[in-house]
Amino acid sequence: MNDLAVRTEDLWKTFPQEPDPVHAVRGLDLEVAPGEFVAMAGPSGSGKTTVLNLLGGLTRPTRGRIWIGGEETTSLSDRELARLRLDRIGFVFQAFNLLPVLTALENAEFTLLLRGVPPEERHTRVRGLFREIGLEGLENRKPGKLSGGQQQRVAVARAVVGEPALVLADEPTANLDTGTGSALLEVMERLNHEQGVTFIFSTHDSRVMDRAHRLIHLVDGAVESDVLQELKGGIGHPP
């Protein structure tokens, strides 16, 4: 257990609803090794986003247990969960969740700021990443002055610039053209290979699914299939 990046045991998430409750996640047993690139696919409403929110401690399970890097998180306080997210997990949200009063650069370096990284180092790391993913020259624009695709790239930069042990990404290539989406995947591939960062994605994007080392299909909150793949793009072999 201790050598796994992620483990869940009989994980359930039920939302009260009339006339019947909705079981968004049903009895999920999942093990992810460090350095894996896991793509979760499935129709809308299959539970992909809920699984990511549970793993990241953004929502509490109705039943079951979760371990991140060998530490059981289901028993942690809200404050302890917040510290774990800051130190060890990067998030890419489908709705971007950028702070409207901050510039693109300030949004991307926000996690580094909270970690106490000095300003010069923060700026250098974010500017270098912005060059890689086509955001150079947009550092001082606020989210309202960025396109949806540009906001998505800022959100991805914020998630990966701190080189977390685990990245949870909810449709990270949505709304991106082919070139930009490929550039983001290459950044993630480099982090996966060079830093051993573990990635778990929800996605409908065939480019992500084709590159993933492991593809999990969810249906109605449960695993329908969990398959190791021959890689077309080279991402995701655990180190």
Q: What are the residue ranges spanned by the domains of the chain?
A: 6-100+156-228
pLDDT interval class at 111 (50, 70, 90): very high
**Angle of helix 178-190 versus helix 148-160 axis, rounded to 10:** 0
Q: Is residue 239 scored above 50 in pLDDT?
A: no
- Residue 234: the pLDDT is 46
pLDDT interval class at 76 (50, 70, 90): very high
Mean of pLDDT values over 6-22: 93
Mean of pLDDT values over 34-60: 95
Q: Is residue 11 scored above 90 in pLDDT?
A: yes
Q: Is residue 39 scored above 70 in pLDDT?
A: yes
- Residue 48: the pLDDT is 95
- Residue 91: the pLDDT is 92
Q: Is the dihedral of CA 113, 118, 119, 122 positive or negative?
A: negative
- Residue 215: the pLDDT is 96
DSSP string, the chain: -TT-SEEEEEEEEEE--SSS-EEEEEEEEEEE-TT-EEEEE-STTSSHHHHHHHHTTSS--SEEEEEETTEE-TTS-HHHHHHHHHHHEEEE-TT----TTS-HHHHHTHHHHHHT--HHHHHHHHHHHHHHTT-TT-TT--GGGS-HHHHHHHHHHHHHTT--SEEEEESTTTT--HHHHHHHHHHHHHIIIII--EEEEE---HHHHHH-SEEEEEETTEEEEEEE---SS------
Cα–Cα distance for residue pair 66/55, rounded to 1 Å: 7
- Residue 222: the pLDDT is 95
Average pLDDT score, the chain: 90
- Residue 12: the pLDDT is 97
- Residue 1: the pLDDT is 52
Q: Is residue 139 scored above 80 in pLDDT?
A: yes
Cα–Cα distance for residue pair 160/168, rounded to 1 Å: 10
Mean of pLDDT values over 166-193: 85
Higher pLDDT among residues 154 and 230, named by residue: 154
* Sheet containing 37-41: order of strands: 89-92, 166-170, 198-202, 37-41, 214-219, 222-228
- Residue 2: the pLDDT is 59
Mean of pLDDT values over 136-162: 92
- Residue 122: the pLDDT is 96
Q: Is the dihedral of CA 214, 164, 201, 217 positive or negative?
A: positive
* CATH fit for domain 6-100+156-228, picks 3.40.710.10, 3.40.50.300, 3.90.600.10, 3.30.365.10: 3.40.50.300
pTM of the model: 0.90
pLDDT interval class at 231 (50, 70, 90): low
Q: Is residue 96 scored above 60 in pLDDT?
A: yes
State pLDDT tens for residues 23-32: 999 999 999 9
Residue 219 tokens, joined: 């249906």
Residue matched to tokens 């990241």? 56
